[in-house]
């Protein structure tokens, strides 16, 4: 009976100790690699009083941590941290609230590392917001980020053929680098430590915790560093002078605009046009807002839709890149998806930026061609600079003064410092338009490289056009030479430096865009991105010469439709071929040729689309019956198409199938396009599979023939839908807000990503939803900047450069009002990604 009672008592004591003293991973075994620690502990068993019980002869987790911490090399300056940490662990064993609270905010161990989860952040708010910090300041903690790099202690004998072989070592996966270049051997661990701890002490504590996790296995060595300052709990937020200066500037602008709007409303029936009235009207909110919806009469309305939709694509690309460069829990799945069909349309979205270069050059040429006399170059360049710099300066001021205070989180200080610090130090380089050449490693606002490029192109192109006007015989030769040099230059630089064909949105780039060598050599430099702008200028000049007679419809309908379709097809090919260099073997010559041609080809396709929509015979959309959708017309067409498809299915196994189709189609263009598409598919270099090739050989001809036939008979006759869609009236005001949206949208995306407390699941629908919200918020911010800062400054500049009339009679007042209306309308037609030129040309010509 006595043995039974003793056994029951022992089990009761063990169970009670397990519940009261339990901690994270309480019954985990001692990690391999700690044999020395274990033997020393066993030797001292007789002299040590355990506060926790041994379960199955294995040490409890906290005793291991306590022993490992005591045996670290602690300096005298680190002793306070050691004492507070040991006190926390002892109180944790007693299950004291403050200690359990602090320890509970730390992740027990890294999880999801092999699936691409790099950030293990714990509970940031729990660490920073304990309810007793004000009453008990001695219990204050701080949140620190430890960056860890895992390395082999012994080099592998040979590289594993398949790193994901489930029966091989996990080190093969940890060392594996996918084509997207997401490292699996790097992690960031957030820990909650006493406020007296220094970074060196935090590194030691993180090392002990890592050694007691499943990553403390034999064969791994950890390099741990705490590079960022820790965030103190309940630390007061101090606003600096820049913050108050921005608030004061914004308040002054709002007050001035509102007062001028009220004054102009009272004088709306007045016919006076003196200097005071023009100044009041320059700040009038309603007048500046009404200019946003004015259309131009140049016949290029499709540019409105192209600008805004292209900007939406850019925002989506940045949303996808910044989100997946931040804390995501399924990075492995994201990388896998990037190598699929989705990646073909995402990884090379930067090519869309060349659309704006092309449009800017196109409209610059249109504005210069319309000028009766060549304007003053110095004033022209100054007005262009002011147009670009106003919104630019406001956004930079916002990033320096307000941006650090609009969020918080474990990664917030680190992420925001990458933008705020360069802007506070190098803002003047941006305003001088030289940031893409001088100290580009610390460029303020990474996406702002576009602005100096656009300004440089404007100056060089206008000077070339001036030279052409002065020397008509030599000018075309100089233009051709400059165009060839602009096309060849990026290819030569790629060849000499053995760079990839393009700068892809891989993980190393989206997580640190200022880091890659190619970003500084070819991506942001003006001399490597000039070709699209020059192509746009040449196409705009051709457009102006064609439209000089007043008849805009110069291209027959058939050729306009085929040209628009061909341009869209080429743009799709350029977008999809870039990501293929991720899995293709590197060839320096091939990469150089692609780097030289992909952007000019894209710009040429965009220019062709604009020309076909603007100069082609594109009748307006009609009612269904007028389009041929009536029942008595549509049913016979459907029947004939079905018969055609059945005939073409038989052609798939016929040797002369392609010839029959070409004769039936009575056109040689489609078979040639089909041959090019087959060549394009061969670029994938897929491994040979006999069944796959047989299926493709049987289906490719009928599928292509059917698709081409449907396109030719059902889609191409109704291509006016594209023209009407791109010319839709809502695109007009939205296109004029694309400049502010471009400059502001990355701050919104980064704010939404880096306020996250834990890694988020990357989902395409979630990213798209966030992208729509960013577009809306960015457009609203752009509208506010436009109405309260940009438009008033540009109007005041126009007033200062406009000659004042000496007489103010009734007739002159009416005439001045008409001229002002014309000039105001022209100003409103110019966006920053447009020409920004007709107002300048008109003002200068009137001054002359």
pLDDT band at 119 (very low <50, low <70, confident <90, very high): very high
The pLDDT tens digits of the residues spanning 236-270 come to 788 999 999 999 999 999 999 999 999 988 876 56
Whether residue 389 is predicted with pLDDT greater than 90 in this model: the reply is yes
Cα–Cα distance between 581 and 735 in angstroms, integer?
Answer: 33
pLDDT tens, 617-626?
554 544 444 4
What the block records as the tokens of 811 is 């007739």
Task: Compute the 3-state secondary structure of the chain and give helix, strand, coil in percent, each to the nearest 5.
Answer: 65, 5, 30
Per-residue pLDDT at 688 exceeds 80: no
The number of CA neighbours under 13 Å toward the Cβ of 82 is 17
Q: Hey, where are the domains in the chain?
A: 59-232, 249-618+725-847, 624-718
CB 609 within 8 A of CB 618: no
pTM, 2 dp = 0.78
Contact assessment for residue 262 and residue 241, using Cβ atoms and an 8 Å cutoff:
no
Query: What six digits make up the tokens of 779?
Result: 């457009």
Buried b (16+ CB within 10 A) or exposed e, 241-265: eeeeebeeebeebeeebeebbeebe
Highest mean pLDDT among 27-41, 59-73, 405-419, 603-617: 405-419
- For the four alpha carbons of 654, 657, 658 and 659, in that order, the dihedral sign comes to positive
Q: Phi and psi at residue 201, in whole multiples of 5°? A: -70, -35
- Which ranges of 402-498 does DSSP label H, i.e. alpha helix? 412-431, 450-470, 475-497
Question: Are 144 and 193 contacting, i.e. CB atoms less than 8 angstroms apart?
Answer: yes
Classify the phi-psi angles of 628: left when phi > 0, otherwise alpha if psi is within -120 to 50, otherwise beta.
left
**Among all chains, which residue has been given the structure tokens 């911490």?**
69
Q: How many CB atoms lie within 10 A of CB 682?
A: 9
Query: DSSP letter string over 322-347?
Result: HHHHSSBS-HHHHHHHHTSHHHHHHT
- At 102, list the tokens: 């602090």
Assess whether pLDDT exceeds 80 at residue 537. Answer: yes
pLDDT tens-digit series, residues 298-312: 667 889 999 999 999
> What mean pLDDT is predicted for residues 28-51?
39
Range in 13-22, 313-322, 346-355, 527-536 with the lowest mean pLDDT: 13-22
Q: Which helix (H) or strand (E) holds 362?
A: helix 353-370
């Amino acid at each position: 009976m006595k043995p039974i009672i003793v056994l029951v008592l022992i089990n009761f004591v063990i169970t009670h100790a397990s519940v009261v003293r339990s901690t994270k991973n309480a019954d985990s075994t001692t990690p391999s690699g700690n044999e020395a620690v274990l033997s020393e502990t066993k030797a001292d068993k007789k002299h040590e009083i355990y506060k926790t019980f041994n379960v199955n002869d294995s040490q409890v987790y906290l005793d291991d941590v306590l022993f490992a911490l005591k045996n670290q090399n602690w300096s005298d300056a680190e002793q306070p941290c050691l004492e507070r940490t040991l006190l926390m662990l002892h109180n944790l064993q007693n299950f004291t609230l403050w200690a359990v609270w602090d320890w509970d905010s730390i992740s027990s161990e890294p999880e999801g590392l092999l699936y691409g989860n790099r950030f293990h952040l714990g509970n940031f708010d729990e660490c920073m917001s304990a309810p007793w910090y004000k009453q008990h300041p001695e219990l204050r903690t701080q949140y620190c980020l430890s960056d860890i790099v895992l390395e082999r202690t012994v080099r592998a004998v040979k590289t594993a053929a398949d790193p994901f072989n489930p029966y091989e070592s996990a080190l093969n996966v940890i060392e594996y680098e996918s084509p997207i270049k997401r490292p699996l051997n790097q992690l960031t661990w957030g820990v909650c430590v006493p406020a007296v701890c220094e970074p060196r002490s935090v590194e030691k504590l993180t090392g002990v915790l890592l050694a007691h996790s499943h990553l403390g296995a034999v064969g791994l060595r950890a390099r741990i560093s705490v590079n960022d300052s820790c965030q103190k709990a309940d630390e007061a937020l101090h606003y600096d002078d820049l913050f108050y200066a921005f608030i004061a500037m914004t308040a002054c602008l709002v007050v001035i605009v509102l007062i001028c709007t009220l004054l102009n409303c009272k004088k709306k029936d007045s016919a006076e046009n003196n200097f005071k009235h023009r100044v009041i009207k320059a700040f009038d909110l309603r007048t500046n807002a009404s200019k946003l919806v004015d259309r131009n009469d140049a016949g290029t309305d499709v540019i409105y839709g192209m600008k805004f939709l292209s900007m939406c694509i850019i925002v989506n690309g940045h949303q996808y890149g910044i989100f997946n460069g931040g804390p995501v829990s399924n990075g492995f799945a994201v990388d896998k998806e990037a190598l699929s069909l989705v990646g073909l349309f995402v990884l090379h979205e930067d090519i869309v930026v060349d659309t704006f270069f092309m449009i800017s050059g196109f409209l610059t040429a249109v504005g210069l061609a319309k000028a009766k006399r060549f304007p003053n170059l110095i004033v022209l360049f100054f007005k262009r600079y002011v147009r670009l710099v106003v919104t630019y300066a406001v956004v930079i001021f916002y990033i320096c003064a307000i941006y650090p205070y609009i969020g918080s989180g474990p990664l917030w200080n680190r992420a925001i410092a990458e933008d705020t610090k360069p802007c506070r130090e190098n803002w003047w380089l941006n305003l001088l338009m030289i940031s893409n050449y001088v100290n580009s490693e610390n460029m303020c606002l990474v996406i702002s490289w576009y602005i100096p490029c656009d300004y440089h192109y404007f100056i060089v192109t206008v000077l070339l056009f001036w030279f052409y006007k002065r020397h008509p015989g030599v000018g075309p030769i100089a233009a051709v030479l400059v165009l060839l040099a602009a096309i060849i230059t990026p290819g030569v630089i790629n060849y000499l430096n053995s760079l990839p064909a393009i700068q892809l949105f891989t993980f190393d780039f989206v997580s640190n865009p200022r880091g890659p060598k190619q970003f500084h050599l070819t991506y942001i430099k003006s001399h490597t991105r000039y070709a699209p702008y020059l192509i746009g200028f040449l196409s705009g000049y051709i457009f102006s010469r064609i439209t000089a007679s007043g008849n805009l419809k110069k291209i027959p309908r058939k050729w306009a439709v085929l040209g628009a379709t061909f341009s869209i097809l080429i743009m799709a090919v350029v977008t999809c071929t870039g990501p293929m260099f991720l899995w293709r073997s590197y060839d320096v010559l091939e990469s150089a040729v692609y780097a030289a041609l992909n952007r000019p080809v894209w710009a040429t396709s965009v220019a062709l689309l604009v020309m076909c929509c603007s100069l082609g015979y594109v009748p307006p959309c009609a009612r269904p019956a007028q389009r041929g959708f009536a029942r008595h017309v549509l049913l016979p067409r459907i029947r004939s198409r079905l018969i055609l498809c059945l005939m073409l299915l038989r052609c798939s196994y016929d040797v002369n199938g392609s010839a029959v189709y070409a004769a039936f189609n009575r056109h040689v263009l489609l078979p040639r396009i089909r041959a090019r598409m087959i060549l394009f598919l061969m670029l994938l270099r897929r491994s040979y599979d006999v069944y796959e090739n047989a299926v493709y050989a049987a289906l490719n001809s009928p599928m292509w023939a059917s698709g081409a036939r449907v396109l030719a008979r059902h889609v191409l006759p109704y291509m006016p839908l594209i023209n009407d869609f791109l010319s839709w009236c809502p695109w007009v005001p939205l296109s004029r807000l694309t400049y502010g949206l471009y400059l502001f949208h990355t701050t919104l995306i980064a704010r939404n990503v880096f306020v996250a407390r834990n890694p988020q699941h990357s989902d395409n629908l979630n990213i798209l939803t966030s992208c729509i919200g960013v577009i809306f918020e960015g457009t609203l911010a752009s509208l506010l900047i436009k109405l309260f800062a940009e438009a008033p400054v540009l109007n005041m500049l126009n007033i200062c450069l406009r000659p004042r009339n000496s007489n103010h009679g009734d007739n002159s007042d009416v005439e001045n009002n008409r001229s002002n209306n014309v000039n105001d309308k022209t100003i409103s037609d110019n966006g920053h990604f447009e020409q920004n030129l007709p107002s300048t040309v008109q003002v200068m010509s009137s001054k002359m």
